[in-house]
């Protein structure tokens, strides 16, 4: 009986410990979104945009990094992945559809993601 209880407690602990992690696929998608957000912030001249879109993009970048560090991704690893994604998307035109998909992914993946982004937006300036 003791072994059964120990196994159940171990199983619960392992599942709880992994609850705040990102799969490799989700980490790659998060980096891709960060690259899209950064491209939004540094749009090429002549590109039209709403200023609030730039604010939300920058706030989302900050929220992703904070969350990554919270769940144990090393800052160096996060920054390397971010740099590759920024290189991939830098200079691209604003794509509302891709940006909206990224916002939905952030809000689904990060606990209180939408609220976190809104808080950061309020502190940007």
The pLDDT of residue 15 is 36
Instruction: Considering only residues 31 and 20, tell me which one the structure prediction assigns the higher pLDDT.
Output: 31
- For residue 45, the model assigns a pLDDT of 66
pLDDT tens track for 79-112: 999 999 999 999 888 899 999 999 999 999 999 9
Give pairs for 23-26: CB < 8 Å, separation 24+.
26/109
* Range name among 42-51, 83-92, 116-125 with the lowest pLDDT average: 42-51
Q: What is the predicted pLDDT for the residue at 104?
A: 98
Domain boundaries, the chain: 22-123
Q: CA 19, 20, 23, 29 torsion: positive or negative?
A: positive
For residue 6, pLDDT beyond 60: no
């Amino acid at each position: 009986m003791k072994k059964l209880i120990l196994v159940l407690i171990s199983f619960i602990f392992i599942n709880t410990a992994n609850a705040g992690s990102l799969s490799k696929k989700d980490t790659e998608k998060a980096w891709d979104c960060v690259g899209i957000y950064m491209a939004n912030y540094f749009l090429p001249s002549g590109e039209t945009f709403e200023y609030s879109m730039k604010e939300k993009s920058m706030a989302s970048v900050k929220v992703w990094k904070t969350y990554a560090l919270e769940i144990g991704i090393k800052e160096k690893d996060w920054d390397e992945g971010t740099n590759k994604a920024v290189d991939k998307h830098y200079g691209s035109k604003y794509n509302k559809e891709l940006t909206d998909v990224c916002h939905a992914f952030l809000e689904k993946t990060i606990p209180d993601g939408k609220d976190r982004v809104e808080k950061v937006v309020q502190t940007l300036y």
